[in-house]
Copies of this chain bind each other. A is one copy, B any other.
Amino acid sequence: MRNSEKRESILKTANDLFERSGFNGIGVDLIAKESKVTKRTLYKHFGSKEGLIKEVLLKHHSEMMESTRARILAVEGGAKARLLACFEVYRTWFGKSNFNGCIFIKTLNEFAGCSTALGQIAQDAKDGMRAFIAEIATEYGAKGPEKLALELQLLLEGSIILAQSGSGLAAIEASLEVAEDLIDRALA
Closest chain-B Cβ to A64's Cβ sits at a distance in Å of 15
Whether the pair A126, B22 counts as a contact (CB closer than 8 A) is no
Whether the pair B114, A166 counts as a contact (CB closer than 8 A) is yes
Whether the pair B156, A110 counts as a contact (CB closer than 8 A) is no
Stretch from A8-16, A55-63, A67-75, A168-176 that touches the partner? A168-176
Q: Interface readout for A146-164 with B: 1 if CB under 8 Å, 0 if not? A: 0100110111111111101
Residue count of chain A within 8 Å CB distance of chain B: 45
Whether the pair A127, B166 counts as a contact (CB closer than 8 A) is yes
Interface centre among A25, A147, A161, A182 (most CB of B within 10 A): A161
The closest CB in chain B to the CB of A114 belongs to: B166
Q: In the bound complex, how far is the Cα of B110 from the Cα of A178, in angstroms?
A: 30
Closest chain-B Cβ to A186's Cβ sits at a distance in Å of 12
User: A112 and B158 in contact (CB under 8 A), knowing A165-B123, A166-B127?
Assistant: no
Q: Interface readout for A98-127 with B: 1 if CB under 8 Å, 0 if not? A: 001100111011111110000000110011
| 10 A-B interface contacts by CB (under 8 A) | A100-B113, A101-B105, A123-B166, A150-B162, A151-B178, A153-B158, A156-B158, A157-B158, A157-B162, A158-B161
